[in-house]
Every structure is written in C-alpha cells, then in structure tokens.
Amino acid sequence: MFGGGDQKRTSEDSEISPQLPNNPRAMVISNSSAALDHAGQNSPHVFAGEDVQNGALSQQAESILIHSKKLQDDLQELGQKIKHHEDNVRYLATQKIKLEESILDMTATLEKYHKTSFSAIQNQDLDLTKSEQETLGNILKHEKSAAALLCMIKSQPESQASDHPLTKDVLGIVATLGKVDDDNLSRLLSEYLGLETMLAVVCKTYEGVKALEAYNKEGLINKSLGLHALAASIGRSLDDPFLVICLERLRPYPGEFIANDPQRRLDILKPRIISGETPPGFLGFAVNMINIDRTHLYYITKSGFGLRETLFYNLLSRLQVYRSREDMLKALPYIPDGAISLDGGMIRSPGIFRLGPPREDVKFPIGFESLSLPDKYLEIKNQIKETTWKKNRMVEDLHREQSYLDHAKVNYEMKKQEFVKFLAESSMYTAQVARASAPR
C-alpha cells in the first residue's frame, strides 16, 4: 500500500478509500526501507569489527520495518471499515427513500376513501352515470363544435358511429376519456387544460385524422367531405375550429409503471427537497390522478400504449398537485413543469401564474375505482403502519451507520498522522544510518 510493501498487496490496497498513497509523504517509506536494507544487509563491511554497534543498528532497523508494516496494516483495516460503512450508508439511504415513496403513494390512495363514506360508494355507478351525463350535456352546449357533433351521433340509439368510416377511428373526446376523484380536482384540471383541449377529438391513427377534414385545390375546406358533410347531413353546421389528437404520433412516456397498480400509473420520480423528503403538501402528479376505464388501460395504439402514457402524459406531463397554494409556492424551486393546488392555485410553467377565479364549463366526470372499501381500506392502513415502522427502523440504522462511519474516519485521520510522524522520525534515522554506512 505504501511503496516498499509486498507487491501483491499494492493493487488491492489502492482500492481502499481514502487512499493514503496519494499523499507524497507516504512515499518516504520506500526510501527508508531501501536505506535500511542497504545498511543492514548489503554493506556488512561497514561495521566490521564493531559487532555490538552493528547488532544494535540491525535490531533497530528491523523494529522500524515491523512497526511500519503494522501502521500500514492498521490504515488498510481502517480504510476497509470506512468503505464498508459508506456502502451501508448509501444502501440505507436508498431504501429509506423507497419506503417514503411507498408511504406517500398509499397515503394518497387512502385519502380518496376519506372523501366519501362507504355507503356512498354503494351508489357509485349511479353517481358516475349522472356525472357522465353532466359532462356530455356541457359538451353538447357547444353546438357548432366537432366534439358536440360526435357526442350527439354516438348518443343516438340508432347510431352506427363505430362503423362509420369517419368516426370508427375516433376514440372519443378528451373530456370523456378520463375520470377524477372529486369535483374540485376535475374543475382544476379542466381549467389547466383549457376548453379547446377538453373538446379535442382523439384519433388512434393519422389516417383517422385525415378522414375528418378534406381540402380543395385552393387549400380551402371541402365541406362536402369529412365531418362537415356529416354535420350537414343531419342539419347542423360545423363552424368552430377544433383540435384533433393523433395517439400514434404522440411520444409516449419513456419510464416504467408503478408495480401492481391496476390503473397502470406512471412511476415518475417525485420532487425532493434538500433533506431528501418530498415538499410539504405534495400530493402527486396530475397524470396519475386520472382514472381510466379498463377498456382503455392496456391497449390503444398499434405499439401497445394506453391513454395514460400517450394522451394524458402529453397533456399533463409532470404537472404536480399540492394541497394548498402556500405549499405550492414554497415548493417553487422543485416545480419544473407546472403545478396546481386544491385551493385553486395554478402555475402553468416556471414563471407563469394563473390568477383570478376559475371558470366552469366542460369537466371530467367524477368516478372512483371499484374497490371493496372496508377490506381494502384496512389493508392499506396496515401496510402504511408496517411500512412506517420499517422506515423508522431504517432511519435508526442509518444514523447508527453514519456514526460508525464518522468514528472510523476520525480513527483513520489519527492513524494517518501517527504514520506521517513515524515516517518523519524514521527518515531521520535512515539518514543517520546512511551517513554511518558511508565509506570513511
């Protein structure tokens, strides 16, 4: 490890952290050892006739080498302890963060159940139908929009919209393709996206997009084709401009999904403040607060991507949701893609704030996942309790391991100072031996 030691040890010792050989003073031992070796073995004639002095010098040289090796071994052992404790600290810190994220996710799920009673869940289907009808009614108010036209055709009992060449590729309207847990969140998300986006037509393929509207040679809309012709056939006009979203042309979410989540929510890295915790009041990402019908969860595009990782990820990205405007503003340094708060605060992007009262128009329907609440509720509560206990034990282990690491570093520094001092003293002795062994 330090110059004149065993060559087999050199490559191993160089991996020990901290590495003392980086200190130039550590190289002194090579000169010391070489000089002592020269004095004690290679030049026996220097002390011919002086057996007592020669024996004393040889004994002292051997003592220096033995003590030097012991100090090197001690430093190597301490270096190994430091590396061991550093590895343990890194591992425990990583496990602690994973447990905290798991607790946060389970708490967010549990909060859904606090917003409603178990008896209200029994009427879930009735409430959902009512909410869907309300959303549909608000869309139909925009009589000259493509969204209203498509919803009206789809809602007619005799309609064959799914077989119509113009609409068979249309998946739906943005406002009808997702549900949220409560009316407040629905209002906030619809306000964030804006009316034009909420009324956007969603197609699976680009061929479906091209079928909706045609143009003549002058580049003007040919109203005898596409949706304009369909509207005219039922005595309506399509005068409002409209957005069309093509799912197969969207760049999907590149990451993983949360394990064992029936809604296939996205496993997005949560914001972290300096302490490593999530910002106070952070509830999650808006893209994961959209509930999607099971028919749309697993396959939409030819590539096998669903609505969450295509449509809603492109619309909401990593939009963060906070409990209050105060929490959101305190977390500004950790909000790269916008945020909303449940009391009406909104940051569209860094530096752009939305002020004033919210407007209500077309919103997402209100809907909950179908769960057996009493069993699921108690199961999640027990999981939170168990995970919190594990996290607390992990924190204790982390603090204990950090104290071991600090103690090992202190011992290493003390031993290093002892070694440096020994090198200085032995180098003086080496010089004396060299002068004594020089020819006279």
What CATH number was assigned to the domain covering residues 25-36+50-116+372-440? 1.10.287.2610
pLDDT, average across residues 140-154: 85
DSSP 46: G
d(CA 3, CA 365): 74
Average pLDDT over residues 268-292: 92
Q: DSSP 3-state assignment of 347?
A: strand
Q: Which amino acid is at 423?
A: L
**Alpha-carbon span 152 to 159, nearest angstrom:** 9
Q: What is the pLDDT of residue 246?
A: 94
pLDDT band (50, 70, 90) for residue 128: low
State mean pLDDT over 167-181.
Answer: 88
Domain ranges of the chain: 25-36+50-116+372-440, 122-367
pLDDT band at 256 (very low <50, low <70, confident <90, very high): very high
What local confidence, expressed as pLDDT, does residue 361 receive? 72
With a cut of 80, say whether residue 301 has pLDDT above it: yes
| Residue 19: pLDDT over 50 | no
30 has a pLDDT exceeding 60? no
* pLDDT > 50? residue 428: yes
Higher-scoring residue by pLDDT: 89, 219: 89
> Which residues sit opposite 340 in a β-bridge?
321, 346
Higher-confidence residue of 205 and 370: namely 205
279 vs 138 pLDDT, higher one: 279
Q: Among 241-255, 280-294, 378-392, where is mean pLDDT lowest? A: 378-392
Q: What's the whole-model pTM score?
A: 0.58
Q: For 233, how many CA atoms within 13 A lie in the half-sphere containing its CB? A: 9
Cα-only R_g, the chain:
37
What DSSP string runs through 64-109?
Answer: HHHHHHHHHHHHHHHHHHHHHHHHHHHHHHHHHHHHHHHHHHHHHH
Predicted local distance difference test score (pLDDT) of residue 58: 65
> Within 13 Å of residue 46, how many CA atoms lie on the same side as its CB?
19
Tell me: pLDDT of 247 over 90: yes
Rama region for 435: left / alpha / beta (φ>0; ψ in -120 to 50; rest)? alpha
Higher pLDDT, 55 or 112: 112
226-238: buried (b, 16+ CB within 10 Å) or exposed (e) per residue?
bbbebbeeeebeb
Question: What is the arithmetic mean of pLDDT over 211-215?
Answer: 86
For residue 310, pLDDT over 50 is answered with yes
pLDDT(193) > 70 = yes
Predicted pLDDT of residue 198: 92
Angle value at C-alpha 376, between 371 and 379, nearest 5 degrees: 165
**Tell me, what DSSP letter sits at residue 207?**
H
- What are 221's strand-pairing partners? 215
**Any idea what DSSP says for residue 278?**
P
- For the sheet containing 244-246, what is the strand order? 170-173, 201-203, 244-246
Q: What is the mean pLDDT of the chain?
A: 77
Evaluate if residue 191 carries a pLDDT over 60: yes
Residue 45: band (very low, low, confident or very high) from pLDDT cuts 50, 70, 90: very low
Report the percent of the chain where pLDDT is more than 70.
73
